[in-house]
Amino acid sequence: MKNDIELYKSFFQKRDDYYLETLDKYNQGKKFTFNYATLIFGIFWFLYRKMYIEVIIIYSFISLESLFENLLLKRLIGEERTVIFSFCITVLFLITTGFSGNILYLKKAIRTIGKAKKKYPDFENQNSYVAKKGGTSLVVITILIISLVLILAL
């Protein structure tokens, strides 16, 4: 059990105290806790926490919802009502990500630690694997922001 806590600390890295407490709540049956960082930063929080598959799913949902609004909803209910609908969907989506961010992150941590234990028999290699797969990264966020600035500048 002590090794598991160390593996989780290696995975979480920054704010490990918060996520260990959240993991404890999760294990006690409290599946959904609210994460304000997820609410405020949205997709950037997921990128920061290296949750790339989740980002692709979220981006796909946002794109499909936007297409639905622009191609169909505007014709059915008009532009003004579509704006109101869009605002409501955005608020609902942000609240949903606020409540689901932690659970998605904890499930990723649990999966990663499980893979490390299957792949490596010794703690040192498990810990290295978990530290590499977990933690945070500003690289992708920086690239995304620079790309957006360049696109807008053109």
From residue 4, alpha-carbon distances to 10, 20, 23, 58, 75 in Å are 10, 11, 12, 30, 55
Average pLDDT estimate for 83-109: 95
Quick: pLDDT tens for 32-72. 899 999 999 989 999 999 999 999 999 999 999 999 999 99
From residue 24, alpha-carbon distances to 10, 33, 48 in Å are 16, 11, 23
pLDDT for 23 equals 95
pTM: 0.88
7 and 126 Cβ atoms separated by less than 8 Å: yes
Quick: pLDDT tens for 112-138. 999 999 999 999 999 999 999 999 999
pLDDT for 154 equals 79
pLDDT for 60 equals 94
pLDDT for 1 equals 64
CA nearest 131: which of 47, 5, 12, 1? 12
**Structure tokens that stand for 76 in this block:** 């059915």
Quick: pLDDT tens for 106-118. 999 999 999 999 9
Give the whole-angstrom CA distance, residue 139 versus residue 137.
6
Count H helices and E strands in the chain, helices first.
9, 0
- How far does the chain reach from its first CA to its final CA, in angstroms? 54
Quick: pLDDT tens for 3-29. 899 999 999 998 999 999 999 999 999
